[in-house]
A and B are shown apart, each in its own frame.
Chain A
Amino acid sequence: MYILGIGCYYHDASAALLKDGVIVAAAEEERFTRKKHDTSFPHNAIKFCLRSQKIRIDDLDYIGFYEKPFLKLERILSQHLETFPKSYKTFLSSIPSWLNTKLRVMRTVRKKLKYKGDVLFVPHHFAHAGSTFLLSPFQKAAIVTVDGVGEWTTTAYSLGEGTKIHPMKEIQFPHSLGLLYSTITAYLGFSVNNSEYKVMGLSPYGIMDREKNLYYKKLREVIDIKEDGSFRLDMSYFIFHHADRMPSKKMCRLLGGPIRAREGPVESRHKDIAAALQMIYEDAMTKLLHHVHKETECDNLVMAGGCALNSVHNGKILKSTPFKKIWIQPAAGDGGTSMGVTSYIYHTLLGKKRDFQLKDAYLGPAFSTKIIKAFLDKHKIKYSEFKDDNELVKETAKLLHEDNVIAWFQGGMEWGPRALGSRSILSNACNPEMQDILNLKVKHREKFRPFAPVVCEDDAMTYFDCDYPVPEPTDFMLMVYPIRKEWHKKIPAVTHVDGSGRLQTIRRAQNHLYYDVIKEFGKLSGIPILINTSFNIRGEPICCTPYDAYKCMMGTGIDYLIMDKFLIKRGDNKRDMWDSEKYAKD
């Protein structure tokens, strides 16, 4: 039985394919169209999913969509009604797209995909819940989904048992932790639905003390958090319910100044606001999770929704709440809902037994040695070839130890927002200058942003103060942990200002070449930790094809590209060089 899940029209369009309970392919549309957070109908992602299994659209048993459009329109019309006449502008800009495309999903599926079977519409937070619980290792778990907004729901908790998801309680629009986070992201001059993680990365530069941070007390005025973690926003500080912008003038007055200009200087005030926001988010989530544990009486926790990408908080959950185990969907944001839809239909609606767990995220397009060689030859690219995996591993580790920046292109592309060793840029974490080198030569991004370390799972406890055993979401780079003090000065390139690291752990069964390179690098340097950052230029999606990879390398200061078993040196292909810096924008 084949089930195709589709998510689109809001942000991060994607498609996922399930075959007899197993997720066999999944990808975000942005990787194909090269438009970051592409919202359009995911034609390319669907085409990839079908081709990966050599099937046609008629072979599908069901197609599922990640929300109920009419229910969502009801909420949007309610916003317009509640805020009349302030909502005039957004009514004019949003209603045509609803009438032309967003309400016509069924028609689009019938007409553009020429599909005649059943199309099922799954409520948004059920799609999130399905994406995490039904693919987790747990047969019973508390499910917490927190995002900006679905149809009406912004925060919900449920109990997952076997194939069933029992919804318990929820909080509805306009009260939303995701929208609060996005509002302050906008206030700090970063892009909404894109740069919330930058605010999270900025927060440790501010005063992380509830007593001393002035903005913490101020921001507590905008949200009323009850003891059970439920909350409501004081809507006089927001205008997202009737305008395209997010903070109101009252919010600007509260925070003592106008919205920061994009690319403007980041002042200490901005850092303190980011810190205050992160602390308030953690306050609400910690209370909420205590309440959910009490209500569900379950020690296993699974999470999804955009807020589940807040890895700083994720790393504190097992220490600050009674939960003992945790699992998070690697594409916790809306991109992951297409996968949730397929699992929800197969297990919860059709009642089919669960025996699949999502253990790695390499579900995207992969390219064979033959295809890559043909690409290199066709474009007359100079390269050399490793004779076997052993030579590849040793040579890569040697190049990394010599402080080269290596682009690493192997196997299936990652599912979700993080590069996890399939489309990664790797470099030496022990070099104190590496952060500046990567920022200047490759990523062209804000200086305050930290780089992530990757470490083999069996070495993680030596260098990081992780929960034990190391939780599986760490494999998806979803947990931030303190780096043990004795290593701060030895791995400066991945040690954030507060001594933490958003580490990725890797197990050999997931990606043996990647694992072996890290181990080999450890033999040379004494520390088996590398920098792992996503293989893309700032503002672009992660690379998908050999062409994307080669183009990205030639436009940046990456020294070598290792693609399958081929080694391509940038310096040997000078005719293809270009400068990506002027295109590096969010």
Chain B
Amino acid sequence: FKKGFADFGHTISAVVNSILLTAVYLIGVGLTALFAKLFKRHFLNMKLSEKRKSYWVKHE
């Protein structure tokens, strides 16, 4: 009974964690990503450019 109860506890805790993380992802990450899209802001620099002679960036 104790083992079953502990397993059940773990399952419940994993489900709650997933729900919380999903909420954080949708609200936190989602809204930030949405605003970034509105203001054309990028978090990763993924563009290729034929015009650029170099992709090196100075170490800050």
Q: Which residues of A contact B (CB under 8 A)?
A: 77-82, 84-85, 87-88, 91-92, 95-96, 153, 156, 158, 167-175, 224, 226-228, 230-232, 234-235, 241
Contact, CB under 8 Å: A96 / B55: no
B29, B42, B48: the one contacting A232 at CB < 8 Å is B48
Within 8 A of A (CB), among B11-33: 17-18, 21-22, 24-25, 29-30, 32-33
A293 to B56, CA, bound (A): 15
B44 touches A228 (CB 8 A): no
A254, B46: Cα distance in complex, Å: 20
- With a CB–CB cut-off of 8 A, which chain B residues contact A231? 55
A sample of 25 inter-chain contacts (CB < 8 A) reads A78-B43, A79-B43, A80-B25, A80-B29, A81-B29, A81-B43, A82-B44, A82-B46, A84-B30, A84-B33, A85-B30, A87-B29, A92-B18, A92-B21, A95-B21, A153-B59, A158-B59, A167-B59, A169-B57, A170-B57, A171-B56, A224-B48, A230-B56, A232-B48, A232-B55
Given A78-B44, A84-B30, A226-B52, CB of A172 within 8 Å of CB of B57: yes
7 further interface pairs, Cβ-Cβ under 8 Å (given A79-B44, A81-B43, A168-B59): A82-B44, A156-B59, A169-B57, A169-B58, A227-B53, A228-B56, A230-B56
Q: Which residues of A contact B46 (CB under 8 A)?
A: 82, 174, 232, 235
Instruction: List residues of chain A with CB within 8 A of the CB of B48.
Output: 224, 232, 234
B residues in contact with A91, CB < 8 Å:
21, 25, 29
Taking CB atoms, residues of chain B closer than 8 Å to A224 are 48, 55
Task: Report the separation of the CA atoms of residues A169 and B54 in the bound assembly, to the nearest whole angstrom.
Answer: 11
Interface residues of B (CB under 8 A from A): 17-18, 21-22, 24-25, 29-30, 32-33, 36, 42-48, 52-59
Q: How far is the CA of A224 from the CA of B51 in the complex (A)?
A: 12
Q: In the complex the two chains form, is B56's CB within 8 Å of A82's CB?
A: no
The reply to whether B30 and A96 form a contact with Cβ atoms under 8 Å apart is no
* List of 3 A-B pairs having minimum Cβ-Cβ separation, nearest first: A230-B55, A84-B33, A78-B43
Inter-subunit contact B57/A171 (CB<8 Å): yes
Q: What total count of A-B pairs have CB within 8 Å? A: 78
Q: Is the CB of A92 within 8 A of B29?
A: no
A174 near B44 (CB under 8 angstroms)?
Answer: yes
Residue contact A175 to B25, C-beta cutoff 8 Å: no
| Residue of B25, B47, B58 with highest tally of chain A CB at under 10 A | B25
Quick one: closest B residue to A225, CB to CB?
B55
Q: Are A228 and B54 in contact (CB under 8 A)?
A: yes
Most chain B CB within a 10 A radius of its CB, from A168, A227, A230: A230
- Does the CB pair A81–B36 fall under 8 Å? yes
Please report the C-alpha to C-alpha distance between residue A175 and residue B36 in the assembled complex, in whole angstroms: 21
Chain A residue with the shortest CB-CB distance to B36: A81
* Whole-angstrom distance between the Cβ of B57 and the nearest chain A Cβ: 6
* Nearest CB of chain A from residue B60's CB, rounded to whole Å: 9
| B32 contacts across to A, CB distance below 8 A | 81
Quote the shortest CB–CB distance from A345 to chain B (angstroms): 19
Shortest CB-to-CB span from B43 to chain A, Å, is 4
Residue of B nearest to A168 (CB): B59
Q: CB-CB < 8 A to A228: which residues of B?
A: 53-54, 56
A228 to B55 Cα, complex, angstroms: 9
A93 to chain B, nearest CB (A): 10
B29 touches A84 (CB 8 A): yes
Task: Check if A82 sits within 8 Å of B43, measured CB to CB.
Answer: yes
User: Does B33 contact A81, Cβ atoms closer than 8 Å?
Assistant: yes
Closest to A92 in B: B21
Query: With a CB–CB cut-off of 8 A, which chain A residues contact B57?
Result: 169-172
**Which A residues touch B52, using CB under 8 A?**
226
